Structure 1
Amino acid sequence: MRDLGNSDNELTEEKWQAILDNDSSFNDIFFYAVKTTGIFCRPSCKSRAPKKENVLIFKNANQALSANFRPCKRCKPTGERLPDEVWISQITKYIDSNFHDKLTLQTLADVCHGSPYHLQRTFKRVIGISPNEYIEHTRINKAIELLIHTNTPIATIGLAVGMKNTAYFVTLFKKKIGITPNEYRILHNDGGL
């Protein structure tokens, strides 16, 4: 008999190791959720290992659902398939909150528990643009807010929205908006700068 701790909902070392090892023998014993993604999984899920401090333990899927966690698209902890629209909504929320980080198709697939190929196809079908185009759109919109409402230098704005290369930031901005970030700032200065 396994010693799973005093509480069914406690993250013991044994449960943590089961998550790290994707141990299917624990699948009927507990589920785990990741606070930063809002997703819950079976211990056997092959998704990227979460940070230990972000993990919550549940004794069943209904507990996780009641705590407003969504089922993983990869391991299907409720036995049901997550609708594509719900899955893509998870991904867009993640992008909206993490646009300043390096975001790749693989990163998004890992975080939202799917394959990069399926993510690319499904995202484009549901949203109408690729994940990369959505990321660019989000970054440009955040840059516009900073250009209008701050005196922050252009290079710093680029960094703040996840673009380390200033020349690339300026080029992308001009391609998407039609003018450079500096020209945009001059045209849309709200008088408060």
Structure 2
Amino acid sequence: MVIKINLSFEEMWEKIIACDRKYDGLFFTAVKTTKIYCRPSCRSRKPKKVNVEFYYEINAVEEAGFRPCKRCQPEIEQSPHIEIVKNIITLLVNHYKQKIVLKDIADQIGLSPYYLERLFKQETSETPRTYLEKIRIDKAAYLLKSTKMSNLEICYEVGFQSPSNFYKVFRSLNNCSPSEYRKVIPE
């Protein structure tokens, strides 16, 4: 059973432009003109947006006639734990708005909280909490660019429980406040 992440085409496009490793294995980018598919983090030259399709499953992209990129090798699993980590990341991406604690994730995945955190950190170099914060800040940045919602509305929309924590995490990851980000980034 494949669990799909809840990202729009535009959000997935932003992830491939940013070469975002956080989404590797959760979706694949297929280029219609070259018939090649890649990971979101692939460093190859970016295709034209109109030539891109996104797939959630490696089997589906290969059945559609695409071949793997020789640079990022999306068909190769890097770790024996990659499936568990992908499930954790998918859970975080799909439930980023909710208050999530490590025990809830561990119960859902079927591991002890200690082992889950250790395994996740080993594979991603981050804790599930910091990973979740990055997902929330990604969503906030997207909303800052694409909506007229206030910073406070966005704070709660993306799952932060307190505005002070939202501003602190946003500044630490983007080196600016949400208001500064909105002014600097063109729509």
Query: Which TM-score band applies after superposition, normalised by the shorter structure?
Result: 0.5 to 0.7
2-side partners of 1:180 and 1:106: how far apart? 31
1:132 aligned partner, one-letter code: R
Q: Aligned pair 1:101/2:101, yes or no?
A: no
Match of 1:186 in 2: 183
Q: Aligned pair 1:87/2:84, yes or no?
A: yes
The aligned runs of 1:56-75 (5 Å cut-off) are: none
Match of 1:166 in 2: 163
Q: Map Cα deviations across residues 160-186 of structure 1 (whole Å, 9 max, x no partner).
A: 110021121111101111100011001
Q: Map Cα deviations across residues 42-94 of structure 1 (whole Å, 9 max, x no partner).
A: xxxxxxxxxxxxxxxxxxxxxxxxxxxxxxxxxxxxxxxxx421111101001
4+ aligned runs moved over 3 Å, structure 1: none
Match of 1:79 in 2: none
Match of 2:51 in 1: none
Match of 2:110 in 1: 113
Structure 1: runs of 5+ lacking an equivalent: 1-32, 37-82
**TM-score of the superposed pair, with normalisation by structure 2:** 0.56
2-side partners of 1:128 and 1:171: how far apart? 21
Q: Map Cα deviations across residues 69-121 of structure 1 (whole Å, 9 max, x no partner).
A: xxxxxxxxxxxxxx421111101001010001111111110111110000010
Give the percent of matched residue pairs that are identical in Structure 1 and Structure 2.
29
The aligned runs of 1:1-193 (5 Å cut-off) are: 83-190=80-187
2-side partners of 1:86 and 1:189: how far apart? 37
2:129 aligned partner, one-letter code: N
Match of 1:52 in 2: none
1-side partners of 2:169 and 2:119: how far apart? 25
Query: How far has the Cα of 1:189 moved from its partner?
Result: 3.3
1-side partners of 2:106 and 2:120: how far apart? 11
Match of 1:22 in 2: none
2-side partners of 1:101 and 1:125: how far apart? 25
SS at 1:141's partner residue? helix
Query: Which of structures 1 and 2 has the bigger CA Rg?
Result: 1
**TM-score of the superposed pair, with normalisation by structure 1:** 0.55
